[in-house]
Chain A
């Protein structure tokens, strides 16, 4: 298959692995921000191809995992309102909130439907004019333009019963927060591929300039990731951290101007609560006032419920990169994909699920 097979070539992988081992003379701690990268690294056994000097940490780049308990609780409260149909990406269904999950709410009779795109949610709204259809809008800059497009479509078609619980988050502010927390000293970041296709590389410049962290945007195939690691090590070893793109077939330095414009005209930037990281200023998106009629937060009176965090769950520390899933005493015991306690075990792109599914020879 074109664009896939050449990026899974064993010879090339071996060569890159040797090259990485040759370049690396001192310890380097790298973080892959994106959950898609975590899965690709685990699934392809990339850690085993790296020298002991290179340490890989997983970051908070899974939108399901960073959704706060209070936001899950809100979605469940909405689901329980009469006349409301909840539409959501499948991964959200099992995420435990304070007392329940959307899956449990569905079993109790709430109308909750899995969709594959915002277009599906719009269609459900069109087909059910008597009911309010709420789309749970989670995601990063990759998902934001599709939600913006759906809002603009709903406006054009005058679909009055379409709403979104907008939980969209922005990546660079979370990276900045992680670096400023200072809990982990990072030498390099594998920057997300799809997010960067939208936002370009400019937002990463301060990380290299102010924090001395090497930044390379990577694709999702094993050769992409090995190449990005090689480029990061070149930067680290030469003491010259800057921003580079390894994923040139997907990412341009300026990003996707059209998508960015659409986002700017639809959303305002606000603070957002991230699981594990707390409230991060200017890290979330909300609908602009002119779209407030589509905003579930403003249309429905959602009573806040007291938020409870699961006891013993260290998803927060895992999301900050200071612990790995096997260090959690619930991992593989009380917390499994069938019965997840924390969100990192729910999403297919969560660190815990990736460690669970693809294993680690050392755990």
Chain B
């Protein structure tokens, strides 16, 4: 094997075959994948959820994760947010010529470990290699399929006045970790991505209550974006309390320094649930038992006032509107 990916690795030649047999397949193999037919064939019954996402994070390794872990978690989490139990994933790699073979190996192993943790199987895939400069090291697309219980109806349009809003933990970790890695920023408190599969957490939440009305993972656009989406889709208002939103010290410090607002920073291992008021404590208690939601908190509630708007009680006791994120996140200059 060469120590770098060459264009020929994507040509369908012996080299492609070697790459598949030696690097890509061994870690993630399973009976469905190993048939090596043009498509994966399997049995599933009931209501299905189906999603896809592409991953282009730069850098491909960052504190707390890498593009492989992200590609599995992102799709697993999207399925989970509809209440689905994720079952099978596809995996497509678009590799820039020149990528270190070692890097690719590490990422495939990371994919395997994350898939194992999330109890999903990679059942089909594809690899393309493009010329240097036509991609940035590695892009990944995953699609996923999962099964949804018949009695569930989770949607951004189901929030009702009185519902409680539960956040599963500290916000801003993924965005700040990637940014600090990219820009070579070092903080005294290490900052690491929260990238994690949330399907087990969701199963535990759903066994505590079936009255989870909305659920979403606050990725790009952060907490502010999804709360605003809920208010628009459900035609309700949302009130949150700044004091109750968990933000770890390292993230707060980094945000202060860079002039960023953690409400708008991306997460990859957090979820927000809108839960019927009577069940909120039960759901919260179930969440706190999960390793990825120990800091879960009720951060606010749904109201029939100020429809379409998220209003936050600030730490000093005043209120302000939390709008959709606007534009790129750029650091302050003075």
Tell me if chain B binds chain A.
yes
Contact of A8 (CB < 8 Å), options: B315, B327, B328: B315
Check A358–B323 contact: CB distance below 8 A.
Answer: yes
A interface, over-half SS: loop
In the bound assembly, the distance between CA atoms of A62 and B259 in angstroms comes to 14
B258 smallest CB distance to A (angstroms): 9
Identify which of residues 289-334 in chain B touch chain A, using a CB-to-CB cut-off of 8 Å: 309, 314-321, 323, 326-328, 330-334
Indicate if the CB atoms of B332 and A358 lie closer than 8 Å: no
Contact A1 B249 (CB under 8 A): yes
> Given the complex of chains A and B, what is the CA–CA distance between A357 and B329 in angstroms?
12
Chain B residues within 8 Å of A226, by CB: 316
B300 to chain A, nearest CB (A): 16
Measured CB to CB, the closest approach of chain B to A92, in angstroms, equals 8
**Complex-state Cα separation, A144 to B261, whole angstroms:** 26
Question: Which of A9, A143, A348 has the most chain B CB atoms closer than 10 A to its own CB?
Answer: A348
Which residues of A lie under 8 Å from residue B323 when comparing CB positions?
Answer: 356-359
Bound form: Cα–Cα A89–B141 in Å? 33
A353 touches B326 (CB 8 A): yes
Contact: B320 with A10, CB < 8 Å?
Answer: no
B252: interface (CB < 8 Å):
yes
The CA-CA distance from A10 to B334 in the complex, in Å, is: 27
Identify which of residues 274-288 in chain B touch chain A, using a CB-to-CB cut-off of 8 Å. none
Residues of the A chain whose Cβ atoms lie less than 8 Å from the Cβ of B315: 8, 10, 44, 222
Whole-angstrom distance between the Cβ of A52 and the nearest chain B Cβ: 15
A336 contacts the other chain (CB 8 A): yes
- Whether A42 contacts B252 in the complex (CB less than 8 A), given A338-B327, A348-B330, A348-B332, comes out as no
Query: A13 in the interface, Cβ–Cβ < 8 Å?
Result: yes
A356 contacts B316, C-beta separation under 8 Å: no
Task: Report chain B residues within 8 Å CB of A43.
Answer: 261, 314, 320
Residue numbers in A under 8 Å from B316 (CB-CB) = 8-10, 13-14, 44-46, 49, 222-223, 226
Q: Is B183 an interface residue (CB 8 A)?
A: yes
What residue in chain A is nearest B252 (Cβ atoms)? Answer: A1
Given A90-B328, A356-B323, A4 contacting B317 (CB threshold 8 A): no
Chain A residue numbers with a CB within 8 Å of B326 are 336-338, 353, 356-357
Given known A-B contacts A1-B249, A337-B326, A338-B326, A45 and B256 have beta carbons under 8 A apart: no
A41 to chain B, nearest CB (A): 10
Contacts of B327 in A (CB 8 A): 94, 337-338
Q: How far is the CB of A351 from chain B (nearest CB, A)?
A: 14
State whether B318 touches A49 (Cβ < 8 A): yes
By the criterion CB–CB under 8 Å, are B261 and A143 in contact? no
**Residue A140 lies at the interface, judged by CB distance under 8 Å to chain B:** yes
- Tell me the minimal C-beta distance from A109 to chain B in angstroms: 14
Asked whether any CB of chain B lies closer than 8 Å to the CB of A139, the reply is yes
Most buried by A among B314, B315, B334: B334
Q: Please, which residues of chain A bring their CB within 8 A of the CB of B252? A: 1, 4
A35 part of interface (Cβ distance < 8 Å):
yes
Interface presence of A59 (CB below 8 A): no
Cβ A91 vs Cβ B318 within 8 A: no
Query: Do residues B317 and A14 form an inter-chain contact, with CB atoms below 8 A?
Result: yes
* A272–B331 alpha-carbon span in the complex (Å): 25
Q: Which residues of B contact A357 (CB under 8 A)?
A: 323, 326
Quick one: which of A291-327 are within 8 Å of B by CB? none
| Residue among A10, A49, A142, A223 with the highest chain B CB neighbour number at 10 A | A10
Q: Whole-angstrom distance between the alpha carbons of A337 and B264 in the complex? A: 15
Name the residue of chain A whose CB is nearest to the CB of B183: A116
Verify A89–B320 contact, CB threshold 8 A.
Answer: no
A63 on the B face (CB < 8 A): yes
The reply to whether A358 and B249 contact each other, CB–CB distance below 8 Å, is: no
The verdict on A64 contacting B320 (CB below 8 Å), with A43-B261, A337-B327, A356-B326 known, is: no
Chain A CB within 10 Å, residue with most, of B243, B249, B319: B319
Asked whether B162 is an interface residue with its Cβ less than 8 Å from the other chain, the reply is: no
Q: Give, as a whole number of angstroms, the nearest-CB distance from B265 to chain A.
A: 14
The one of B259, B314, B328, B330 that contacts A45, using a Cβ cutoff of 8 Å: B314
Q: Give B243-270 as 1s and 0s: 1 = Cβ < 8 Å from A's Cβ atoms.
A: 1000001001100100101000000000
Q: Tell me the nearest residue of chain B to A48, going by C-beta.
A: B318
Residue in B closest to A7 when the chains form the complex, CB atoms: B316
- Cβ B321 vs Cβ A44 within 8 A: no
Measured CB to CB, the nearest residue on chain B to A223 is B316
Q: Which residues of B in the span 32-51 have a Cβ within 8 Å of any Cβ on A?
A: none
For A63, list chain B residues within 8 Å (CB): 333-334
Q: How far is the CA of A143 from the CA of B321 in the complex (A)?
A: 31
Given contacts A116-B183, A336-B326, A357-B326, contact A45 B319 (CB under 8 A): yes
CB of B299 to closest CB in A, whole Å: 16
Question: Judging by beta carbons under 8 Å apart, are A349 and B334 in contact?
Answer: yes
Tell me, in angstroms, the Cα distance from A62 to B319 when the chains sit together: 25
A89 to B183, CA, bound (A): 13
With A and B bound together, what is the CA distance between A231 and B22 in angstroms?
72
Q: Which of B185, B320, B330, B334 makes the CB contact (< 8 A) with A44?
A: B320
Which of B318, B328, B333 sits near A143, CB closer than 8 Å? B333
Q: How far is the CA of A196 from the CA of B315 in the complex (A)?
A: 27
Contact B318 A45 (CB under 8 A): yes
Across the interface, name the chain A residue whose C-beta is closest to B326: A337
Interface residues of A in 237-251 (CB under 8 A from B): none
Min distance, Cβ A93 to any Cβ of chain B, angstroms: 8
Closest Cβ of chain B: how far from A155's Cβ, in Å? 24
Residue of B nearest to A3 (CB): B256
Chain B CB within 8 A of A36 CB: yes
A 42-72 contacts with B by CB, 8 A:
42-46, 48-49, 62-64
- A-B pairs with beta carbons under 8 Å apart, 14 shown: A10-B316, A14-B317, A36-B332, A36-B334, A49-B318, A139-B333, A222-B314, A336-B326, A337-B326, A348-B332, A349-B333, A356-B323, A357-B323, A361-B319
* Besides A46-B316, A89-B333, A337-B326, 6 new A-B residue pairs in contact (Cβ under 8 A), listed by A number: A4-B252, A10-B315, A89-B330, A90-B330, A348-B332, A359-B323
Residues of A within 8 A of B (CB): 1, 4, 8-10, 13-14, 35-36, 42-46, 48-49, 62-64, 89-91, 93-94, 114, 116, 138-140, 142-143, 194, 222-223, 226, 336-338, 347-349, 353, 356-361
The 10 A-B residue pairs with the shortest CB-CB distance, nearest first, are A359-B321, A45-B318, A337-B326, A90-B330, A13-B316, A337-B327, A89-B333, A45-B320, A10-B317, A222-B316
